Amino acid sequence: SYTIAILVVLGTIGLYFLRRYFKGGQFRESVSAIGKVAVVTGANTGIGLETAKELNLRGAKVYMLCRTEERARDAQEKMEKSGCDSTRLIYIHCDLSNMESVRECAAEIAKLESRIDILVNNAGVWLGGYEKTEDGHEMTWQSNHLGPFLLTELLLPLVEKSGKGRIVNVASLAHTSSPPLNLSTIDSEEGFGSASKAYAKSKLANIMHARELTRRLRARGNNTVTVNSLHPGVITTEIARNMGVGMQIFMKLSKFWLKTAKDGAQTTLYLALSKEVENVSGGYFMDCYRYVEAPLAKDELACKQL
C-alpha cells in the first residue's frame, strides 16, 4: 500500500507538470476591443467559438463565418449565456471548400462593413482520406489553405482600411512534418500521400502565406497591416472526429492534460489584440511567444510560388 501511495503521488505530480507543459501561455492583457470589427471562420465550435466569444466579451462586433446556420445559432446561444452581446454576433454562411461560397460571403461582408480590424482564419479540417471539392481541388488543401487564402484576398481591402488591421492564420506544429510543397501534384491523389501529410502541407502553407503576404504588403508601402500565424497547441476539439478510431480514443483519454479550446484560443487572441505585437508581422507563434518555424516555411522562392 505504501508503494502504491508513492506511485499515485508521483503520477499526480507528473500529470500536473504534463498539464502545465501542454497548457502553455495565457493571454492576460486587459485590452479592449470596443468598436472593433472581427471576422472569425469556424466560429461555431472549438478554438473558433472561444475566440469569437472573447472578442465579443471585450466589445468587438464578430462575424461568425460557418458552414451550418443551425450550429452557428447554437453557438450564439452558448455565447450569450456566457455574457456575450448577441447583437454583436453575426452569422454569415461560408464554406471554405466552395470558392463561390467564399466569394458570396466576402461580398456580403463588404456590403455590411467599411473596414475589418481583425480577420482570424481559424477553420480547418483533418480528413480520413483523399477527396476532391466541386472546384476540383483536394479537400484538405482547399479547406485549409485555398479557401482561407481567397477569403483573405477578398477582404484585404477592408482590412487595409482599418487603422492597424490584423490577420491571424491558425496553423499547426504539424507543419514541421510537411514535405516541400509540390504545387503541380498537390491536388492529385498521388500527391495526397496521407491524411496527416495533407494536413501538414496545408498548415505549412498557412505559415508561408503569412510571411509572403507580409512581404508583399510592405513592398507596396503598407506598414500597418500585420499577418501572423500560430500553433494553438494540442487541443481537445472536434477536428479529431475525422481521424482514426485510435486517435479519437487517445484524444478522449488525454483530456486531463491536453489544452481545452479556451486554452487553444489564447495565442490567437494575443495576435489579434496584444499591444506587444502590434508592429510584428510574418511571425509564427506558440503559447503567446514567437517561435521558429520549419526551414521550409522560410524558403522565399517557395513562398512566392505559393
Contact 79, 60 (CB under 8 A): no
Tell me the residue length of the chain.
306
C-alpha span between 246 and 144 (Å, rounded): 23
Which strands form 89-93's sheet, in the order they lie side by side?
89-93, 61-66, 37-41, 118-121, 166-170, 226-231, 284-286, 289-291
289 in catalytic set:
no
- Three-point CA angle 127, 128, 131, nearest 5°: 70
CB 32 within 8 A of CB 57: no
Integer CA distances (angstroms), 186 to 126, 145, 183, 297, 302, in order = 16, 12, 5, 17, 14
The catalytic position among 63, 199, 270, 284 is: 199
Active site residues: 199
